[in-house]
Structure formats: structure tokens, C-alpha cells
Amino acid sequence: MAIEHANVLRAAHLARLGVSDAQAERYVDDLSRILEMVDRLSEIDTQGVAPLSHPLDATQPLRADEAIEPDRRDTFQQIAPATADGLYLVPRVVE
Amino acid sequence: MHDKTLAELARGLAAGDFSSRELTSSLLERVKKHDPAINSFITVTDEQALKDADAADTLRHKGEAGILSGLPLAYKDIFCTEGVRTSAGSKMLDNFIAPYNATVVEKLRHAGTVSLGKTNMDEFAMGSSNENSYYGPVKNPWNPTLVPGGSSGGSAAAVAAGLVPAALGTDTGGSIRQPAAFCGITGLKPTYGRVSRYGMIAYASSLDQAGPMARTAEDCAMLMNVMAGHDARDSTSVARNVPDYTQGLDKPLNGLKIGLPVEYFGDGLSPEVETAVREAVRVYESLGAQVIDVSLPHTSMAIPAYYVIAPAEASSNLSRYDGVRFGHRCDDPADLEDLYKRTRAEGFGDEVKRRILIGTHTLSEGFFDAYYRKAQQVRRLIRQDFLDAFSRVDVLMGPAAPTTAFELGAKADPVQMYLQDIYTIAINLAGIPGISVPAGLVDNRPVGLQILGPHFGEAHLLNVAHVYQQATDWHQRRPEIKE
């Protein structure tokens, strides 16, 4: 399946990745060649084959729903770009 | 001291031939002198290293030293190290000082090892040449015009250049084994889940695995004894008994059944690499092994399946870099969307963006079944190939890479670069362990023999590699470095 300019812009938006129109053009070229290589998967008959998401076929183990990590908010916020009163600051989202 | 293996250094420390401080300072001197030309380190933690070396020496005087006490090593800059920048080779994390240690870092620290610092890598482990680093490419110590391989290129080059006896790497599609091959060292990718991924910056979570990179299989075994095991903080780490990997290294190989996958000796394999690998297999025959041809029929599907699954997982994992909680943030964002989009456009390099876009596209509405679901089905067929092969043979052998190290800048086309990983990538999809050991030199460029085993077969792989290293001296060859 070929990838088109609009697909690249859509993926960039979904990934919240700033991509200009001119850059998108270059990605169309790169991604098309990657997808062309990936398209070879369609040569294989996979009817009735269950998808493998974990290489040991393991399922997600569950643990008791208990807090086990200590509160280290102050340490973690020391490396944040902007904080105040224990909160992370971002541009205003609600007027 | 810089030429010795971990095992030799451990004996030297135990015998009192030198102290950890002497060893550590002499290696730090070498890093200062030689690394500007190699660029294998992103961060050197010299003060902390000397402090830790002194602490190890003190323990030794008290008679409380363990086997690894005072031994220097280095971490690929993808392992979180408390209080030390952990960049993953990315501008996005250039200012990220990790607030905690990865589990493997914690374990190796507890065992008394001394970290010299953090090694260079392809950004977020995406690459096969170490040319995708924000901190510049790493040069191959065998020849500075060549790449060291990737993504754990800094770890491989630092060990090869004698800057550190061992380093940790991570392997998502060959990122330990291929650079180990290109730099002439020994590198083990353990079974998926054998080593905790906690604190290891995630690229593709169903494929990522940490492993040791060192001069010998014996050294890898010493490190695996500490690294392996279940971790409550990584639910994908496997609760299974950890053997002593250093026991049984010498077990004779009489009757060992070796399979040679015919697909690993076909088109695209350099004739010189093939000659070296077949010569290594003959050494095994002389040691009593039997060799048969086997087939892994879905080999050619491994790279296509990988370039759906890995970017899909990456696009999800890398969504955490949003400029809000840590890492790079763009200046003067107009609104929240602008903050996300510009932060990510500025913080990520080209290859990372390509993979985020591919992953987002293949997971998006209308494309999921054709790509992601299909790739996961093919993944099961690829794993089945290995399970079938291991019902007939004990190990598989072949080249770690189709060529020796290539020139810097030689593979500008991303798809050409991806094809480098043809012999390593299926192993991650199947979750099995693999090791690359030095097995020859072609025009002074190292060749790696890859040995593969069934799930949790690390101890046997290390035994098979170690016996080869007792019979050959390729692992003792060192690049010429002007002292």
C-alpha cells in the first residue's frame, strides 16, 4: 500500500510531531520505500495463524493493587521544564 | 591492564596485583587520551568512578569483596543512572538527569562494579551504525573510517579500544550482536525476559533486551550471573531459576548438534564473511560437533515484520516525550498542541521521526489489520521456524552480519541500512538468545560468528562460545591503537 502526502500529515498530527509540508514530501518518499519492503508480508498465507504479541506467548501477570512506590514527586519535578505548587505547567488549555 | 579480560582483572584484584583505584584511574586516563578520536562515551563519570573504586578497595581490605568488586564497566546511555545524564543519544533527553537506577545498574552496583560512564548509541537505539546519535557518530577502533555498528556502538567500541573491559548494551533487532561483530568483541542477547528492562529506556517493549558486551564468553557469563533474574518492577521479566553461567563453560562439545540455516548463507552474504564463518564451523567439527543444514523458511519476512512491530511499539513508547514532565521543551509555545508538536519536532532526530511516523501510520484506522495484525501473525511463523529447528539441533550458527564493518556514510538509504540486520532481527521476534563471537578478520575488519539457542539456553550458548575461544585466538586480537 502506497503512502500519500495526506497519510504522512495525518500520522504526524496523530503523533503530535511537527512536520512541515516540505518535510512531509520527503517522508512520503522514505516511508513509501519502507512500506514497499513491508508489503512483502502479504506474500505469506497467515490464515488461521494467531497473532504473537509476546515472544514467550505470556499474558500480562497481575499483582495486588497496592501502592508500592514511595512518593518522590519533589525529586521528579526537579527535572521538569516548568512546575508550580507541585503541578506541571503547560500553556493554558481552558479559557 | 587495558588488554585484560574481566576474569583476569578479577584475579589480579583478588591477588592484590593492583587496586581498583589503580585500574580505574589507568582506564580513565585511556578514555581521556583516546576517546576524543573514537567518541564512544557520551558522559564520563570519573569522580564517581574513583569514589566507587576506593569503596571497592576498602571492602577488599576488610575481606568482604565479591567476584565483581572493583571491576570497571560502562553502560549504554539507555540505562537510567541516578544523578547522571541518561540521554538515549537524543537531544530530547540531553538535559535528563535520571532520578533512579535501572535494575541492572542497581544489581551491578550492589555487586561492587565501578561505572566509568555512559556510552554513545544510535538515538533511542534506532540504527545499525551509531551514525544516528545526537552526540555524533562513533568510530570503529579497528579503522576510524568505519562504523562500529549499532545501536550499542559506543559500548562495542569502548571495549574493543581497551577503554573498559566490559559494557552493557541492549538489543532490539541486533544492537548487541552486530556491533560486537563489527568491533571484534563478544556480545550476548539473552532470552526475552531473562534480564529486567526496568529503567531501560524503551524502544520496542516486546523485543528489547539488555545484555553484556565483553572480550570473552566467560566475562559475559560473570556479568549474566548478576544481571539475570526476575524483577517485580518489570512484569515481563521471567520468574525462573538463574543458573550459575560460569559453571559448565568448559563442558566438552562432543556430539553437539549444530544447524546451519541455509537462508543465512545465501544471496547478500559477503564471500569473505562466509569463508570465516564456515572455518569457525570446521573448528567446531574438530571439537566433536556434528553439522547439518536446516531451514528457517520465513527468514526473508523478518525485516518486513520487524519494521511494522518495532515502529508501532516505538510510536507508543515515545509518546511520553511531550515536553511536560522531563526532557526537552520548545521555547514560547503558543498553546498545548504547539508545545507537543514543536518539542517533538526539535527533540527527535530523523530516523526516530521516520519510525514514529511509520508506527503511527500502520496502527491507524484502516491500516491496522493489513500491517500490525499481519506482522504479528508472521512473527508467530518466524518463531515456529526456530522451535522446529531446535527440535533437531542444539544450536544454530551463522554470520552475525552480512558484511564486515562498512564505511561511515555508506548507507544513506534507510532501507539499505535495515537490511544489515537480516541475520539478527528474527532472533528478537522469536525471543531466543544469541551470541556473537569474534571468528576472523577480513582486511583487518572483524567477523562475528552468531550462535543461537532455544529460549533460556544462555548457559549452553556461553559454553559453546567459551570452548571455541579456548581453541582459537580471534577474541584476543586487538585493534592497533597508538599509545
Question: φ and ψ at B92, to 5 degrees?
Answer: -55, -35
pLDDT of residue B483: 77
Section B352-379 average pLDDT: 96
Q: How far apart are CA A65 and CA A70, in angstroms?
A: 15
What letter does residue B141 receive in the DSSP assignment?
T
Indicate the class that CATH gives domain B6-255: alpha beta
List chain B domain ranges: 6-255
How far off is chain B from A46, nearest CA to CA, in Å? 6
Q: Is the pLDDT of residue B337 over 80?
A: yes
B412: confidence class by pLDDT, cuts 50, 70, 90: confident
> Given B236, B329, B358, which is nearest A31 (Cβ)?
B358
What value does the mean pLDDT of chain B take?
A: 97
pLDDT of residue A95: 75
The dihedral region occupied by B40, where left means phi > 0, alpha psi between -120 and 50, and beta the remainder, is alpha
Q: Which amino acid is at B181?
A: A
Place of cell 576506593: B54
pLDDT of residue B53: 98
A16: confidence class by pLDDT, cuts 50, 70, 90: very high
Q: How far apart are CA B320 and CA A92, in angstroms?
A: 20
> Given A3, A51, A58, which is nearest B361 (Cβ)?
A3
What value does the mean pLDDT of chain A take?
A: 93
Report the residue of chain A nearest B301, measured CA to CA: A41
Q: Is the pLDDT of residue A45 over 90?
A: yes
pLDDT of residue A94: 83
Residue B108 sits at the vertex; the CA angle it makes with B105 and B112, to the nearest 5 degrees, is 130
Are A51 and B379 a contacting pair at CB < 8 A? yes
Q: Is A68 exposed, middle or buried (0-12, 13-18, 19+ CB in 10 A)?
A: exposed
Q: How far apart are CA B120 and CA B180, in angstroms?
A: 14
Section A1-5 average pLDDT: 85
Q: How far apart are CA B55 and CA B57, in angstroms?
A: 5
B361 chain-A contacts, CB cut-off 8 A = 3, 7-8, 10-11, 31
Q: Would an 8 Å CB–CB cutoff place B240 in contact with chain A? A: no
Q: How far apart are CA B262 and CA B260, in angstroms?
A: 6
- Which ipTM value was assigned to this complex? 0.96
> Given A17, A38, A58, which is nearest B353 (Cβ)?
A17
Hey, what's the cell of B410?
555508506
| CA B358 vs CA A16, B134, B159, B361: distances in Å | 14, 21, 34, 5
B91: confidence class by pLDDT, cuts 50, 70, 90: very high
List chain A domain ranges: 19-43
**What does the pLDDT look like over B92-116, one tens digit per residue?**
999 999 999 999 999 999 999 999 9
How far off is chain A from B30, nearest CA to CA, in Å? 32
The sign of the torsion formed by the CA atoms of B432, B435, B439, B442 equals positive
**What does the pLDDT look like over B271-323, one tens digit per residue?**
999 999 999 999 999 999 999 999 999 999 999 999 999 999 999 999 999 99
3-state class (DSSP) for residue B67: coil
Q: Is the pTM of this model over 0.90?
A: yes
3-state class (DSSP) for residue A31: helix
Q: Which amino acid is at B201?
A: I
